[in-house]
Structure 1
Amino acid sequence: MFFEDLDMNNNTFIPADTNEFQYMGRIDFLDEKAPLFIYAGSLVKTRFTGTKVSIVIKNLNAYYDNYIGYIIDGNTEGKVKVNKHNEKIVLELADELKDGVHELTIFKRQDGCHYFNFYGLVLDKGCKVLNPEPRPKRRIECYGDSISAGELSEALDYVGKKDPEKQNGEYSNSWYSYSMITARNLKAELNNNAQGGLAVMDGTGYFMEEGYVGLESTYDKLKYNPQLGKITKWDFKRYTPHVVIMALGQNDDHPDNYINRDMEKRQLWKEKYKDIIKSLRYKYPKALFVIITTLLNHDKGWDDALDEIQRELEDKKVVRCKFKRNGCATPGHLRIPEAYEMATELTEFIESFGEDVWK
């Protein structure tokens, strides 16, 4: 349904700039009445009264089919497919709820394959929104690729296997990425700055086939996909994490896996990654930086190079975490059970640094 066709005599519209909405993630608030959701896992929370709820959005599509994720009352999970792009539309989430107060989380399931403007909610006539639970005091930030974004996490018939040959975005769910699971385990807020295909350096990886854009060009950006409009800078003053997860090094072997045979390129890659980490360390002087790769199969040479980076930085706030099945668990993307496995180990690793990490 187009928003302009909504019968306001029988519904209540709650605009996006209402105080009872709590936002999380690198979100563009240039238009406070239509905040732009960009990164995987960005979300908005609230509580509402009544028996039904719909969302009002405008979707900007680059590729794949796009879906919006939602959770109602902590136990009803779902997704709704976006059926029109570049139009202000109404998407129904639920219409037969028990009359009363309900919790709602709306989140971005996918990465920069699309952005969407969130305009607000549509409720029963006369119903309202209420404040959600207080915002977590702990804060995490993650820089990663498709694994951190939860791409293909719901392809449960392919646990430990290669990805399905046919997929068009329907299996991706950031809620079940190891990064978001870890944040929930630690009761922390998360800015999940993850993009499928991302490598450290421009000209490598798989993100943006024409020119390949790397972390060096995205880590300090708010809007970062040139297919979806002007690139904009991120204001680092808006969010200061206690823990930063650096999870690159798995797409970097494309188009050339040079890490073990070209020492000059290896050194260049290390210096680029160190420069990014040092730039972020300057912005977040108190944060703990955790350098990882994931369970996805990859050349051990990249992990060896990450070990070297950690040693060469000579910084007690920059640490390495390796998983029991690091780089050898699956030839495909992490499915939900594998993401939980990884999140459990990462949670324990971060907890080992004690409460001082969160001060």
Structure 2
Amino acid sequence: MKNRYAYLAAVLCVLQVGCTAVPGTSEGQVQELPATALQPVGRFQVNKVQGLELISSAVHFGFSFEGTQAQVMTSLFNPKGHSYLQYELDGVYQKRIRIDGPQDTLVITAPTSGKHTVWVYKTTEAHSGPVVIRKVTGPKVSALKPASKPLIEFIGNSITCGAAADPSEVPCGTGEYHDQHNAYMAYGPQVARAVKADFILSSVSGYGAYRNWNSNGPTLPEVYEKIDFQDKNPQRWDFSRFSPQIVSIALGTNDFSDGDGKTPRLPFDSATFVKAYIGFVKNVKAIYPKAQIALLSSPMMNGAKKQALENCLSAVKAQVDATYPAAKPVALHFFKPMRATGCTGHPNVEEHGVMAAELEPFFKKLL
């Protein structure tokens, strides 16, 4: 009976805001870790009520606990909306978890007692809206500092987001666009883990260097400095938070797109593309003067379009290298063509693995 009341007290404590510890549980004290104590990698902000807003794709934070269970308390701004988180337990990837409405809980269950580490990742992209972390609870819960690893920032479009890559739970053509996102399994995070680096994803589905999939803008260069990549948001991201060793940029797929076939669209303009791309690279170099710049082509393109994109990227490299003769030369990687089989013609999780394996020696050399 005593244990039963202790368990009930622990549950009530977890539900209460401001409760910090309850003695007498079978696994020790249940403690509360405020969201402000977490140390995320990626774009985030702490809001007025001290909630941690996870903004960018794959933005992640870590914590440890002792025992067999911990809880991550979450919320969304849209009371009828949903998003996704995914997590590692003791270094092993587990799964995606759907987050619903203004209050939800990600429950982490370990198979054994003892000390465990957890890394939680936002699955969806910035334009799907933030996932708010309210607090973390569990026995002897403690925030983890990001590992002392090289940092790679991956700038790009839906492919970089891991969009449309994972129909394992919600089949292609059903649900909402972000239901098939899997940022953890996108090529960037996969190759970063392979080369023992940490990562940030700065990417927006459908966006390009000088025009988007089906519109003329705002483009990725135009929203890159906004905290959530939203053109009308006056708030800018604080780039001093992180210093990537490498900035990888993969734009062009959407610039070359023919759109939906209904909206008027001019033929691809290589001169405008190169000019916009050079301007963006110069802006990135101004933000991160010590970073190595790497330009990636697109595995979605072949034939004449593939060659045209590669020619454009080579022209960007030549002009940027000439402008910054004392800096590290821009690195180029041209993907092998791929017939993607994910949703709406995107690479699926396995195909992101193929891309990551192709990129691994390229990034190892740069590191």
> Quick check: 1:73 aligned with 2:90?
yes
Alignment of 1:17-56 (within 5 A): 17-18=36-37, 21-29=38-46, 33-56=50-73
Distance verdict in 2 for CA 1:173–1:6, change over 3 Å: same
2:213 to 188, 201, 205: 205
Deviations 1:177-201 (A, max 9, x none): 0011111112112111011111123
CA distance in 1, matches of 2:107, 2:119: 11
Q: Which residue of 2 aligns with 1:193?
A: 202
What letter matches 1:102 in structure 2? H
Shift of 1:245: 0.5
What letter matches 1:197 in structure 2? G
CA distance in 2, matches of 1:95, 1:338: 30
2:281 to 249, 274, 277: 277
> Quick check: 1:309 aligned with 2:316?
yes
What letter matches 2:355 in structure 1? M
Alignment of 1:1-359 (within 5 A): 6=15, 12-18=31-37, 21-29=38-46, 33-61=50-78, 65-75=82-92, 77-84=94-101, 87=102, 89-95=103-109, 97-112=111-126, 113-123=128-138, 127-130=139-142, 132=144, 135-155=147-167, 164-168=172-176, 169-201=178-210, 204-206=212-214, 212-225=217-230, 230-252=233-255, 253=257, 254=259, 256=265, 258-259=267-268, 265-297=269-301, 299-300=305-306, 301-315=308-322, 316-325=328-337, 332-353=345-366, 357=367
CA distance in 1, matches of 2:92, 2:213: 37
- The question of whether the paired residues in 2 share the 8 Å contact of 1:46 and 1:103 is answered with yes
Q: Which residue of 2 aligns with 1:262?
A: none
Unmatched 5+ stretches in structure 1:
158-162, 260-264
Q: Which residue of 1 aligns with 2:6?
A: none
Distance verdict in 2 for CA 1:6–1:32, change over 3 Å: closer
- The question of whether the paired residues in 2 share the 8 Å contact of 1:297 and 1:328 is answered with no
Deviations 1:122-165 (A, max 9, x none): 22xxx2223547523301111111111111222369xxxxx932
Question: Which structure has greater helix proportion?
Answer: 2
TM-score by length of 2: 0.79
Aligned partner of residue 314 in structure 1, secondary structure: helix
Q: How many residues align?
A: 328
Shift of 1:297: 3.7
Aligned partner of residue 244 in structure 1, secondary structure: strand
* Amino-acid identity (%): 22
TM-score by length of 1: 0.81
Distance verdict in 2 for CA 1:313–1:289, change over 3 Å: same
Shift of 1:77: 0.8
Distance verdict in 2 for CA 1:83–1:182, change over 3 Å: same
Q: Which residue of 1 aligns with 2:9?
A: none
Deviations 1:31-54 (A, max 9, x none): 593221111010111111222222
CA distance in 2, matches of 1:63, 1:307: 47
Shift of 1:61: 4.7
CA distance in 1, matches of 2:144, 2:340: 38
Higher relative contact order (CA 8 A, sep 6+): 1
CA distance in 1, matches of 2:109, 2:331: 48
Distance verdict in 2 for CA 1:107–1:302, change over 3 Å: same
What letter matches 2:41 in structure 1? M
CA distance in 1, matches of 2:142, 2:71: 16
CA distance in 2, matches of 1:133, 1:147: 28
Distance verdict in 2 for CA 1:44–1:302, change over 3 Å: same
What letter matches 2:137 in structure 1? V
